């Protein structure tokens, strides 16, 4: 059975990082709304410029913009059975719209993976985060890259700090997360889809926990994730 996963978690909990590892491990396509919006902004499209009015302040982009982007992505990948949604949904409105969209296409969600990190590690992760302007991959200064001025270790592109990685925007993003996104935890728990993952510790150790959680959720049906 194909997995259709949403990744939930506070800002900088590692959603993009774990989505990337899942993609490399299972060749599962990723729909990352954060990355998609940053790419649109770099291209200067109306969608990117509109989204930047919200993201640069640490605010959530309106539900219809985000759900429309997911629908456009699905339209461009006909026949897609398995995928990871990195960072969507972030509100109950998005969750309901997503449910409706996926059920209409007969590809309902199978897992909601919640990455849980202690709040005190978040500012440091944000301070050290850099993103490649060319391939969109995220790194931590001091891990695979030695400084923010280094080249991207994957494609050689230029690394950049994210515009929303400021103390002010982070405070706003944390508030948005508490108010608008945490209600999704009981929402998916009630549907039997929630998998809680302790997300501190090494990136690879966290990924092992993700794999184990997906495999044990799958066990009664006798197959591994793909
Ligand atoms: P996102 O791009 O989703 O970013 P994020 O939540 O801040 O970070 P993520 O959890 O992906 O952490 P990462 O892997 O980078 O969203 C950006 C903005 O876009 C939002 O604030 C919002 O404005 C807008 N947006 C996106 N989706 C939306 C939606 N559905 N609705 C409305 N608005 C939306 O990891 C963080 C850092 O920690 C990195 O440097 C990484 O290398 C490092 N790291 C990861 N795992 C680690 C580990 N185990 N140990 C140490 N470091 C680790």
- Relative to beta strand 159-160, strand 129-132 is antiparallel
Helix (H) and strand (E) counts in the chain: 9, 8
Phi, psi at 163, each rounded to 5°? -60, -30
What gap in Å lies between CA 211 and CA 221, rounded to an integer? 16
- Single pTM value for the model: 0.91
Over pLDDT 90: what percentage of the chain? 78
pLDDT at 220: 56
173 is catalytic: yes
CB distance 173 to ligand 1 below 6 Å? yes
Q: What six digits make up the tokens of 194?
A: 């929630």
Residue 114 CA to ligand 1 center (angstroms) comes to: 13
pLDDT at 219: 66
pLDDT digits (tens, 9 = 90+) for 122-173: 999 999 999 999 998 999 999 889 898 999 999 999 999 998 999 999 999 9
15 is catalytic: yes
pLDDT at 218: 77
The overall average pLDDT reported for the chain is 92
Over pLDDT 70: what percentage of the chain? 96
CB distance 121 to ligand 1 below 6 Å? no
CB distance 90 to ligand 1 below 6 Å? yes
Residue 10 CA to ligand 1 center (angstroms) comes to: 8
Nearest-CA residue for ligand 1 atom 16 is 34
Decide: helix, strand or coil at residue 7: strand
Residues forming a β-bridge with 30: 84
Query: pLDDT tier at 225 (50, 70, 90 boundaries)?
Result: low
pLDDT for residue 224 is more than 50? no
pLDDT digits (tens, 9 = 90+) for 46-95: 989 999 999 999 999 999 999 988 998 999 888 888 999 999 999 999 99
CB distance 181 to ligand 1 below 6 Å? no
Decide: helix, strand or coil at residue 82: coil
pLDDT at 223: 47
pLDDT digits (tens, 9 = 90+) for 3-13: 999 999 999 99
pLDDT for residue 115 is more than 50? yes
104 is catalytic: no
């Amino acid at each position: 059975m194909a997995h259709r996963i949403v990744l939930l978690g506070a800002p900088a909990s590692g959603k993009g990082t774990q989505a990337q590892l899942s993609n490399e491990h299972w060749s599962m396509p990723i729909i990352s709304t954060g990355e998609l919006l940053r790419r649109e902004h770099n291209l200067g499209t109306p969608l990117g410029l509109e989204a930047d009015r919200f993201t640069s302040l640490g605010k959530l982009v309106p539900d219809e913009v985000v759900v429309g982007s997911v629908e456009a992505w699905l339209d461009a990948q006909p026949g897609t059975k398995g995928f990871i949604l990195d960072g969507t949904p972030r509100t109950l409105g998005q969750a309901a719209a997503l449910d409706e969209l996926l059920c209409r296409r007969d590809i309902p969600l199978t897992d909601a993976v919640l990455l849980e990190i202690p709040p005190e590690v978040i500012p440091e992760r944000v301070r050290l985060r850099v993103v490649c302007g060319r391939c969109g991959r995220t790194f931590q200064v001091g891990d695979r890259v030695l400084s923010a001025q280094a080249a991207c270790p994957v494609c050689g592109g230029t690394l950049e700090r994210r515009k929303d990685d400021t103390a002010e925007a982070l405070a706003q993003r944390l508030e948005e997360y508490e108010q608008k996104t945490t209600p999704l935890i009981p929402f998916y728990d009630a549907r039997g889809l929630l998998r809680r993952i302790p997300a501190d510790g090494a990136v690879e150790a966290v990924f092992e926990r993700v794999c184990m959680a997906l495999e044990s959720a799958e066990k009664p049906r006798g197959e591994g994730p793909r």
